[in-house]
């Protein structure tokens, strides 16, 4: 029975009517890749590089970062890796970067905003990434906390400059959709990126105006709130208009019902904590895309998050 279960983990997340969803893992370190693969991960859909900067007294240099990214690609043996550029600010503070105090860090200099103000951090990370890309493997780079087209253009230009300097191969460049403005303007942004990955943790926080860490309110920050689902649908529509794919790397991707709804909304890749993978794969393998689409349509029309959750079980 154990052998049977392990074999099942390795099967693709293909619905009964033949639609396949890519299942990625959220993994930050090369030594965690093997565990993710044993749970059935097909890729790493989110490597949070903040972890390289935390719990230490200084920032990692180019060589150290390069070794880590190369280690991830080596451990993945050709499977895709999406590295997210540094997302500091908000709930992720790093004392040694000596960033100014902000009254409201979630609405402040965070993610892409910080990268564009600190070319030292951006250049070092991009150089390490493009050096790793030169060694082979399937690397993609994505940028966090994107709000405006100008940020995308500036970051792409920085990538191209570093790539050319190193004579490295081009790699797919994507953005996190985690601010409502990016979801609403997805059709505009899609022209300028290769893919979107929706960060539902932050998208929910910013759409519902609930601090994701708030001790009293966080439980109400439900990523299945119909308002959040409508933003996800807008993102997919905007992406599809330009032939781009959309993934989700926030926590709801690892919830079996959430994964089913996201698939019905047109999301093509789900990246999650490794231990969530087997149950998500089982759920999708027992579903029909046609039923998931109907269920997603019903969810979009729901009045409340509770009403969305009440649809669980009705679609498969
Ligand atoms: C998210 O916001 O959903 C996300 C995946 O990024 P993080 O949790 O690292 O902010
Ligand atoms: Mg986020």
Q: What pLDDT, on the 0 to 100 scale, is given for residue 219?
A: 84
Tell me the CA–centroid distance for residue 87 and ligand 1, in Å: 9
- What is the SS3 assignment for 283-296? HHHCCCHHHHHHHH
The best mutation among 249, 252, 254, 255 to test binding of ligand 1, ranked by most ligand atoms within 8 Å of the C-beta, falls on 249
Residue nearest to atom 4 of ligand 1 (CA): 199
CA–CA separation, 117 and 213 (whole Å): 26
Which residues are paired to 21 by β-bridges? 13
Q: What pLDDT, on the 0 to 100 scale, is given for residue 300?
A: 98
Q: Give the ligand whose atoms come closest to the C-alpha of residue 248.
A: 1
Cβ 276 vs Cβ 252: under 8 Å: no
Q: Which residues of 125-151 are buried (b: 16+ CB within 10 A; e: fewer)?
A: bbbbbbbbbeeebbbbbbbbbbbbeeb
* Closest ligand 1 atom, residue 50 Cα: 9
* Closest ligand 1 atom, residue 90 Cα: 10
Q: Is 73 helix (H, G, I), strand (E, B) or coil?
A: helix
Q: Give the ligand whose atoms come closest to the C-alpha of residue 223.
A: 1
User: Which residues sit with their C-beta closer than 6 Å to ligand 1?
Assistant: 46, 48, 87, 178, 199-202, 249-250
What pLDDT tens digit does each residue of the chain (316 aa) get? Answer: 788 888 899 999 999 999 999 999 999 999 999 999 999 999 999 999 999 999 889 999 999 999 999 999 999 999 999 999 999 987 778 889 888 889 999 999 999 999 999 999 999 999 999 999 999 999 999 999 999 999 999 999 999 999 999 999 999 999 999 999 999 999 999 999 999 999 999 999 999 999 988 999 988 999 999 999 999 999 999 999 999 999 999 999 999 999 999 999 999 999 999 999 999 999 999 999 999 999 999 999 999 999 999 999 865 4
The two tokens of residue 185 are 């303007």
Cβ 221 vs Cβ 204: under 8 Å: yes
The best mutation among 44, 144, 218 to test binding of ligand 1, ranked by most ligand atoms within 8 Å of the C-beta, falls on 144
Residue nearest to atom 10 of ligand 1 (CA): 202
Tell me the CA–centroid distance for residue 250 and ligand 1, in Å: 5
Q: What pLDDT, on the 0 to 100 scale, is given for residue 316?
A: 45
Residue nearest to atom 6 of ligand 1 (CA): 199
Q: What pLDDT, on the 0 to 100 scale, is given for residue 314?
A: 67
- What is the gyration radius of the CA atoms in the chain, in angstroms? 19
Q: Is the pTM of this model over 0.95?
A: yes
Tell me the CA–centroid distance for residue 26 and ligand 1, in Å: 10
Main-chain phi, psi angles of 121, to 5 degrees: -65, -45
ipTM confidence = 0.99
């Amino acid at each position: 029975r154990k052998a049977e279960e392990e074999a099942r983990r390795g099967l693709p997340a293909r619905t009964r009517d033949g639609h396949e969803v890519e299942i990625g893992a959220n993994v930050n370190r090369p030594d965690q890749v093997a565990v993710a693969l044993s749970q059935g991960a097909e890729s790493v859909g989110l490597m949070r590089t903040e972890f390289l900067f935390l719990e230490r007294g200084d920032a990692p240099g180019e060589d150290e970062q390069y070794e880590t990214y190369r280690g991830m690609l080596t451990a993945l043996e050709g499977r895709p890796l999406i590295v997210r550029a540094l997302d500091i600010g908000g709930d992720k503070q790093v004392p040694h970067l000596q960033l100014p105090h902000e009254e409201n860090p979630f609405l402040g200099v965070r993610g892409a905003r910080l990268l564009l103000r600190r070319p030292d951090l951006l250049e070092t990370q991009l150089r390490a990434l493009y050096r790793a890309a030169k060694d082979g493997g399937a690397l993609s780079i994505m940028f966090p906390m994107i709000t405006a087209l100008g940020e995308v253009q500036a970051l792409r230009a920085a990538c191209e400059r570093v790539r050319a300097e190193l004579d490295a191969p081009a790699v797919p460049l994507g953005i996190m959709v985690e601010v409502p403005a990016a979801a609403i303007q997805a059709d505009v942004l899609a022209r300028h990126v290769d893919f979107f990955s929706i960060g539902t943790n932050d998208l929910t926080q910013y759409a519902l105006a609930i601090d994701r860490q708030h001790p009293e309110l966080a439980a109400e920050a439900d990523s299945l709130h119909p308002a959040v689902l409508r933003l996800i649908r807008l993102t997919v529509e905007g992406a599809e208009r330009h032939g781009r794919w959309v993934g989700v790397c926030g926590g709801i991707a690892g919830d079996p019902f959430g994964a089913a709804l996201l698939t019905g909304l047109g999301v093509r890749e789900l990246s999650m904590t490794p231990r969530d993978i087997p149950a998500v794969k089982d759920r999708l393998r027992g579903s029909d895309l046609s039923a998931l689409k109907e269920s997603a349509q019903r969810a979009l029309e729901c009045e409340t998050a509770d009403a969305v959750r009440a649809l669980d079980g009705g679609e498969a």
